[in-house]
Amino acid sequence: MYVIGTAGHVDHGKSTLVHALTGIDPDRLQEEKERGMTIELGFAWLKLPSGREVSIIDVPGHERFIKNMLAGVGGIDLALLVIAANESVMPQTREHLAILDLLRVKKGLAVIAKRDLVDDEMVELVMAEVEDILKGTTLEGAPKVAVSAVTGEGIPELLETLDRLLETTETRRDSGRPRLSIDRSFTMPGFGTVVTGTLIDGSLSVGQEVEVLPSGKVSRIRGLQSHRTKVETASPGRRLAVNLSGVSHDEIQRGEVLTIPGWLKPTIALDVRLRLLSDAPRALKHNSPVTFHTGATETAARVRLLDQEEVKPGEETWAQIRLEHPLAVVKGDYFVIRSSDATMGGGAVVDPYAKRHRRHYLPTLQRLEVMARGSGEDILLQTLQATEPCDMRLLADRANLSPEDARVLVERLASDRRVVVLGDRALTLRSLMYSSEGWASLMGKARTILDSYHKEHPLRWGIQREELRSRLALSPQVFPLILPRLVEEGAVVEGNNLLRLPLHQVALNGEQQRRAETYLAALRSTPYSPPTDVTLGDDLLNLLVDEGRVVKVSESVVFDATAYGEMVEGILATIKAQGKINVGQVRDQFQTSRKYALSLMEHLDQRRITRRVGDDRVLR
């Protein structure tokens, strides 16, 4: 299904034309009927001669209501630029056309309305002027049809022309990520909260859980209507009314986005390609305040120019938009900026989750150039580098691609060794990825951390897994996928739950060797009651622990490994024979003191070999 939007100067007959085409009066407000002027968005629909059903959004033409006009044209597929034959091109004709061009509306036609008020020569003059203003815009070469909503002249030709244009208009894609930019929120008696908008990028179904952004309110779809007809599922490109449960209509604002939970996050900074209109009233300076419009929403913002101090009318530049309020947008969304009630320009979102950049910095500008105009692989790679490590689902969301399109591109990048896929190499939505440069950087960082650790602790075989994870600033979910690949590629060696560099060795000097042997001899002299007043130093003691020569059961009690093994074997044999053992029995069995027996039993509890039941221990 397609959505058609009107555009044009006030009182040029847009609403009258919609009424003539559809039989529906798009002016809903009493004030509109009394003043004979559209103030708010109006909605209608019709069936074309081919049987194709289309939605129509009627927008206000008065300059005071440009904001309302912008809320309506963001999701249209085809524009009806309406020009009154008795007045020809007027200021809002030009401004509305400029907005359609900024929003890259590529299909449309010029309707010369009020045909009955002028002669044929005047119609030809108006058509010539319209053809002239269309040049250089996305609607250049668009068909022109003269009509009269009063007599019906030209209406059949207009309908046939619409049908013909829609034959070659691309249908909305279904990426599996539905978005509905809300342009109305109201209450219907007996139904509750209803929101309306144009559905893009995915489908919605009755019963589905949805989220309203940026507020984050979660709801469920009670019902769907399109053109006052109930539907169970709605596909992209439909004008839709959504009945929501669990949320009040006054909690939802125009411009918020209805979507499925979990994938879209509001943002306050956007990297964009910005174009200033050639007839913009002035240049735009760095850090200028503007009003930012996209979809059905608007917010105050500032424009940070990234490669110059000001952009002049007719020029393009790289910029970052800093929003006053968070918005839910994706890569590729089009926008318009206005200042002092004048449309200044607009463009496309290149990166919806922008970091603050250094201005006039060539690598940033080159990256944005790739994000805007590069190949699919290059764009995906740049997106990955900005978010790595990330899984396939997040990568597809950030690049605004369907999961299948993202998977195909990642396969190509992986085969070219430009992307590293971790864990299961079969690509799924949960596959974790790095760019090859990002992966090399991570391996380099891991080596640096280990090298530094080895220098700080030359008598330790390696670092604990958790400590390396923390120093690499990786999440507990990500690190287990990364570590096996680090080991596989020889960056790290794992042994005894410790991680080290491949060439790291522990070598004791003569003095250290003497101290270690003296300590071990002291432990073996009274194996079941080893001395606690003999100190060795943490690093040397930890080395003996790592090598398995001693077992540290508490902060003060360390057993020779052989004695420890004998004690554990004896304790387990007693439990198996008698079903249990207590601290006193351990003390008597090994002719030791309660201190050593208790420390050993608590150690076995911690190792989950035994568990305490009253004063006894049993096997776990």
Show which of 167, 201, 231 is a domain's final residue: 167
Residue 598 above 70 pLDDT?
Answer: yes
The per-residue pLDDT for 73 is: 80
Residue that wins the pLDDT comparison between 102 and 42 = 102
Residues 148 and 245 in one domain: no
Query: Among the residues of 493-593, which ranges form H helices?
Result: 510-525, 538-546, 561-578, 583-589
Backbone conformation region of residue 608, classed left if phi is above 0, alpha if psi is from -120 to 50, else beta: left
The per-residue pLDDT for 316 is: 95
Residue 64 above 80 pLDDT?
Answer: no
| Per-position DSSP letters for 225-286, written without gaps between them | EETTEEESEE-TT-EEEEEEESS-GGG--TT-EEE-TTS---EEEEEEEEEE-TT-SS-EET
The per-residue pLDDT for 11 is: 82
Q: Is residue 441 part of a domain?
A: no
Q: State how far the Cα of 559 lies from the Cα of 596, in Å rounded to an integer.
A: 10
Residues 404 and 306 in one domain: no
Q: State how far the Cα of 369 lies from the Cα of 381, in Å rounded to an integer.
A: 13
Residue 52, judged by CB atoms within 10 A of its CB (0-12, 13-18, 19+), counts as middle
Rounded to an integer, the average pLDDT of 47-66 is 81
For residue 389, whether the previous peptide bond is cis, meaning omega lies within 30 degrees of 0, is yes
Q: Is residue 206 part of a domain?
A: yes
Q: State how far the Cα of 409 lies from the Cα of 11, in Å rounded to an integer.
A: 50
Q: List phi, psi (to 5°) of 111.
A: -110, 115
**Considering the chain, what percentage of its residues have pLDDT values greater than 90?**
68
CATH code at 615? Answer: 1.10.10.10
Residues 197 and 149 in one domain: no
**Kind and range of the H or E run holding 620:** none
Residues 26 and 78 in one domain: yes
State pLDDT tens for residues 507-532. 888 888 898 899 999 999 999 999 98
State pLDDT tens for residues 85-138. 999 999 989 999 999 999 999 999 999 999 999 999 999 999 999 999 999 999
Sorting pLDDT into bands at 50, 70 and 90, what band is 425?
low
Q: Count of domains in the chain?
A: 5
Sorting pLDDT into bands at 50, 70 and 90, what band is 58?
confident
The per-residue pLDDT for 402 is: 85
Q: Is-contact 582 594, C-beta < 8 A?
A: no
Q: Is-contact 181 74, C-beta < 8 A?
A: yes
CATH code at 418? Answer: 1.10.10
Sorting pLDDT into bands at 50, 70 and 90, what band is 35?
low
State pLDDT tens for residues 242-294. 999 989 988 999 899 999 998 999 999 999 999 999 999 999 999 999 999 99
Token pair belonging to 434? 């790095």
Residue 210 β-bridge partners: 219
Residues 55 and 147 in one domain: yes
Instruction: Please list the helix, strand and coil fractions of the chain in percent, rounded to the nearest 5, in that order.
Output: 35, 30, 35
CATH code at 114? Answer: 3.40.50.300
Q: Is-contact 205 217, C-beta < 8 A?
A: no
Show which of 194, 228, 259 is a domain's final residue: 259
Q: Is residue 401 part of a domain?
A: yes
Q: Is residue 80 part of a domain?
A: yes
State pLDDT tens for residues 213-238. 999 999 999 999 998 899 999 999 89
Sequence-distant (≥ 6) Cβ neighbours of residue 377 within 8 angstroms: 409, 412, 413, 418
Rounded to an integer, the average pLDDT of 402-414 is 90
Show which of 122, 144, 167 is a domain's final residue: 167
Q: Is residue 26 part of a domain?
A: yes
Distance of CA 342 to the CA centre of its chain: 31
Sheet containing 463-464: order of strands:
463-464, 498-500, 493-495
Residues 281 and 370 in one domain: no
Residues 143 and 62 in one domain: yes
For residue 214, whether the previous peptide bond is cis, meaning omega lies within 30 degrees of 0, is yes
Token pair belonging to 263? 């994938």
Residue 115: DSSP 8-state = G
| Number of helices followed by number of strands (H, E) in the chain | 18, 34
* Helical axes 376-387 vs 436-456, angle rounded to 10°: 30
Q: State how far the Cα of 82 lies from the Cα of 74, in Å rounded to an integer.
A: 18
Residues 231 and 313 in one domain: no
Residues 334 and 376 in one domain: no
**Structural domain that includes position 286:** 267-364
The average confidence (pLDDT) of the chain is: 90
State pLDDT tens for residues 548-592. 899 999 988 999 999 999 999 999 999 999 999 999 999 999 999
Residues 399 and 526 in one domain: no
Sorting pLDDT into bands at 50, 70 and 90, what band is 506?
confident
Residue that wins the pLDDT comparison between 23 and 25 = 23
What separation in angstroms does the CA of 384 have from each of 119, 399, 410?
A: 61, 9, 10
The per-residue pLDDT for 62 is: 61
Q: Is-contact 389 435, C-beta < 8 A?
A: no
Look-up: residue for tokens 């919806």? 352
Residue 201: DSSP 8-state = B
State pLDDT tens for residues 385-403. 988 999 888 998 888 888 8
Angle ∠(401,406,410) on CA atoms, nearest 5:
150
Q: Is residue 452 part of a domain?
A: no
Residues 123 and 10 in one domain: yes
Rounded to an integer, the average pLDDT of 75-84 is 92
Rounded to an integer, the average pLDDT of 175-182 is 92
Q: Is-contact 321 359, C-beta < 8 A?
A: no
Sorting pLDDT into bands at 50, 70 and 90, what band is 38?
low
CATH code at 192? Answer: 2.40.30.10
Sorting pLDDT into bands at 50, 70 and 90, what band is 37?
low
- Give Dmax over CA atoms of the chain in angstroms: 121
Q: Is residue 600 part of a domain?
A: yes
Q: Is residue 459 part of a domain?
A: no
Residues 333 and 405 in one domain: no
